[in-house]
Structure 1
Amino acid sequence: MYGDGSAPFHGVFSLKIRGVFTAEQLQQALAKLQAGHCLLNMVIEEDSKGVPWFVLSKRPAPIPVRIEERQGDEHWMQETRREWATLFQVNTHPLLRLVWLRGAEVSDLLLVVHHCAFDGGAVLCMVHELLSLLDAPQKKVAAATALPFTHVQDLVPHNIYYSRGNRAKRLLLGGVAQLAAVAVPVIKRLQRQPEVTGRKDYFITWTIDKDATSALTRRCVTQKITPHAALTTAFLYAFRQVKGAAARNRILCPVDIRRYVREIKKDTLFAFGMGVNLSVSKKSDAGFWQAAQQVQAALTRQTDKLNGYDFLMNFECFHPMLARRAKGKTKEMVNYDMVFSNLGRLDIPKSFTSFEVEAVYPPTVMGPTGNYNTVLTSTFRGQMDFSFTGSTHHFAYEEAVRVKEIAMELLLGQP
């Protein structure tokens, strides 16, 4: 997710707040947040081989804040696009920054993160803490005095990490990684993937109101499936209708590693790419909800088999490839139609002493290269919000709109 550091891979999480606070209060809240998490004091440095590392800064810079006067309810969209294109100063500054769209009674706060450092769970943790600190300036926070972990061995139990089978697997994967570090760049040169030029990123947002969200939830309970399975099925069907035979019939769904590695706590700032791949049977003539039940079965089967410790140990073996990572300017080929990330019902209080969280805008994330069709959804104040991000070099804006329309018609128009 860091690549070679030359291209953004940013997530933006935005809130609409009704209430009044000062710049000083915001800076104080951010300072306390930063003091409580070592990762917010990290910078990225590359070693002599070009491999990037998180390094704890001895004199960390404060979390940057940019203040603009709020221009209306859609101003956050304009600023989101601006933040997508703005690189982090990874060598000198935190991998989190904030944009405050300031209004007399209503403000928007945009938390911008580098995805190599923070996943959705980490962002939600920071949002919750920041709002609590902003609401209670007198609240004291214990400063983090030590990193929660420094090596993968700190996250994997000793008996698992040093078992004979896992040691043999790491030795094998390390050899594979050494070969891949040499072979992959050669293969990419032979494939001669075209460079991406004139790329234009976009996103669309929409909301399912409270009544429709409630009705969807009830229908999923009746069908004995989760909303995640129903949504995934709807998007798979939509891509098939829009792309026809060119559809990959596969959606990548990230999974929160905290569910599988108990050493990574709910309030631990972390990012790690772990997920499942979901498809629908092309041969089946089952109706929508029957297909959704099949997707649910596949989702349950795959998540039950996930092993967070294995993922961490296996990926740690591929460090030799990091020094030969791509420059991020070629059109990468991938084998899925989109990434679908469901943050679920947000654990963010609606009301505080001095302000109210009136809305959580649909989160967005934009990566540097390849197919970056990504749908993020979350539920706040009883309604489900969506964002669809994409890039014109891979997927036309009109196609994204059509996928959204078909998916929602399938999902909400089913008898």
Structure 2
Amino acid sequence: MIKRKLMMVERIMYVDPETPVNCIFSAKIKGELPEQNFKTALEKIQQKHALLRVVIDSKTEKYPFFIEEKEIAPIPLRIVERKTDQDWLTESQKEWKILFEEEKTPLARVVWVRGQDVSEVFWAIPHCISDGTTGVTLMKELLQLLDNPALELEPYEAFTSVDEFLPSNFNVKSKKFKAKLYLTFARFFFMLQQKSKKRNLGKNYVLHQKLDPATTTQITQKCKANGISVHALLCSAFMQAFQEVKGKEAKGKVISPVDVRHFIPEIKEDHLFAFAPTVDLAIKKGSSDLLNNAKQIKEDLVQKIGKMEARELLWMGEQMHPIVDRMISMLKSSNGGHDVTLSNMGRINIPNDYKNFSIETIFSPTVAFPWLNSNTLVTSTYNHQMDFIFLSNEDFLPKAEAAKIKEKAIALMTTS
């Protein structure tokens, strides 16, 4: 039976029992989907992933914990009749705000925006059990089972503590001293911070844009010709666009999450997991040499990833539970030192064609953060089309400004 405390990073994404932070992963499907196949598919997916059979108890102990619910309800399916191409986006924004609070209900929902020949299907999952790779996995499994309900999925053992990821030579004694030092510094830092009452009271919004295959190819060829990665070009273009639109208010820095599975192979690609370690990437203030900035970012990223100690980061996070509430409070009230959190998922590894339907496209995930600086860009590529999701809050970054930033950045990436 599963019973474990939420990791520090899971607690940050959980926030508290009253704040929903839900990730939405959507696919557009051409063809007929038999309704009865959904029930079988969702049952099998729930049996495979232990985290889809738990609830969060935030009342019984000092810190919230996952606990397996023996009488867990099936993953709910909500069906909406499709009227326009934008219904999936409207429905996904509704799902941002709905808590997973009902007793004995799993931490996942599926919505089917049902049309005659075209449908959108999406997962809504709390961020505290899900990163981008999780969304891809759940979508891939759902599509496989909708096409072939006889398919069997292999369950896996859920981890019970981050200690399971520690190498045999991990010196807990010396690391505990380091952790105590960090915790003391952190407490002192928070003590010095003036309590800010600033909060985002405006409306969360999403800007969506999908590039056609020709424009997407143009970007990838530009990167190849200049020896840079698409991720580095994205970072460079968006930081420059922020500078052009926001002027002196621009920070010239992005926060970039990295898939933890690169560092901890025990966490398999098809395992549900929420922690993505991040790297800070910056450009020189006022610098507008797009390609040079991208080259510098690529070098910086390679260097920072090379030095990353993900196992230690996970363990160290577990020593920081006493200050998590203060971290969350700061995220809700601080402007932060970055322009945007930029998550590039790269090529989405989901097949196009199935026996009974085909996938027209996959959309980059959306999520509405409760942070003051909620600027988030998620990009992905599917079927030779790059997809952009830009999310923020009207209070922090007006939607019209965000649209200008997105347009400028894409123009920078596509002009030779």
The reply to whether TM is greater than 0.5 is yes
| Change in 2 beyond 3 A, CA 1:195/1:229 | closer
Q: 2:4 corresponds to which residue?
A: none
**What per-residue deviation string (whole Å, max 9, x for no partner) do you get for residues 31-73 of structure 1?**
1001011111121112555411111222222111111101121
Q: 1:4 corresponds to which residue?
A: 16
Q: 1:399 corresponds to which residue?
A: 401
| Change in 2 beyond 3 A, CA 1:405/1:115 | same
2:119 to 81, 104, 107: 107
- Secondary structure of the corresponding residue to residue 367 of structure 2: strand
Structure 1 runs of 4+ off > 6 angstroms?
none
Partners of 2:192 and 2:73 lie apart in 1 by 41
Q: 1:123 corresponds to which residue?
A: 135
Q: 2:387 corresponds to which residue?
A: 385
Q: Does 1:295 align with 2:301?
A: no
| Change in 2 beyond 3 A, CA 1:237/1:143 | closer
- Does structure 1 conserve the Cα–Cα contact (< 8 Å) formed by 2:54 and 2:72? yes
1:72 to 81, 84, 90: 84
Count of residues paired in the alignment: 404
**What per-residue deviation string (whole Å, max 9, x for no partner) do you get for residues 79-101 of structure 1?**
11111111122753222111111
- Secondary structure of the corresponding residue to residue 297 of structure 1: helix
- Does structure 1 conserve the Cα–Cα contact (< 8 Å) formed by 2:196 and 2:333? no
Equivalent positions of 1:1-400 (< 5 A) are 1-46=13-58, 48-89=60-101, 92-144=104-156, 146-147=157-158, 149-160=159-170, 163=171, 166-174=172-180, 176-177=182-183, 180=186, 184=190, 190-197=194-201, 199-282=202-285, 287-322=289-324, 326=328, 330-400=332-402
Bigger shift: residues 327-336 or 23-32? 327-336
| Change in 2 beyond 3 A, CA 1:337/1:324 | closer
Partners of 2:153 and 2:243 lie apart in 1 by 51
- Does structure 2 conserve the Cα–Cα contact (< 8 Å) formed by 1:240 and 1:249? yes
Partners of 1:384 and 1:291 lie apart in 2 by 21
Partners of 2:287 and 2:326 lie apart in 1 by 43
Shift of 1:327: 6.5
| Change in 2 beyond 3 A, CA 1:329/1:238 | closer
Bigger shift: residues 89-98 or 38-47? 89-98
Q: Given the two structures, how large is their TM-score scaled by the length of structure 1?
A: 0.92
Whichever residue aligns with residue 313 of structure 2, its letter is F
- Secondary structure of the corresponding residue to residue 396 of structure 2: coil
Partners of 2:293 and 2:330 lie apart in 1 by 37
Shift of 1:191: 2.7
Q: 2:3 corresponds to which residue?
A: none
Partners of 2:366 and 2:314 lie apart in 1 by 26
Partners of 1:306 and 1:43 lie apart in 2 by 32
- Secondary structure of the corresponding residue to residue 366 of structure 1: coil
Shift of 1:132: 0.8
Whichever residue aligns with residue 233 of structure 1, its letter is S
Q: Given the two structures, how large is their TM-score scaled by the length of structure 2?
A: 0.91
Whichever residue aligns with residue 249 of structure 1, its letter is G
- Does structure 2 conserve the Cα–Cα contact (< 8 Å) formed by 1:229 and 1:295? yes
- Does structure 2 conserve the Cα–Cα contact (< 8 Å) formed by 1:15 and 1:360? yes
Shift of 1:224: 0.7
Whichever residue aligns with residue 318 of structure 1, its letter is M
Shift of 1:349: 0.4
Shift of 1:291: 1.7
Partners of 2:54 and 2:232 lie apart in 1 by 37
- Does structure 1 conserve the Cα–Cα contact (< 8 Å) formed by 2:25 and 2:123? yes
Unaligned runs of 5+ in 1: none
- Does structure 1 conserve the Cα–Cα contact (< 8 Å) formed by 2:200 and 2:393? no
Partners of 2:228 and 2:186 lie apart in 1 by 40
- Secondary structure of the corresponding residue to residue 311 of structure 2: helix
Bigger shift: residues 175-184 or 120-129? 175-184
Partners of 2:290 and 2:96 lie apart in 1 by 36
Partners of 1:324 and 1:208 lie apart in 2 by 40
1:412 to 395, 411, 414: 414
- Secondary structure of the corresponding residue to residue 376 of structure 1: strand
- Secondary structure of the corresponding residue to residue 313 of structure 2: helix
Instruction: Give the superposed CA RMSD.
Output: 2.1
- Secondary structure of the corresponding residue to residue 27 of structure 2: strand
Bigger shift: residues 388-397 or 2-11? 2-11
Q: Percent identity?
A: 34
Unaligned runs of 5+ in 2: 1-12
Whichever residue aligns with residue 193 of structure 1, its letter is K
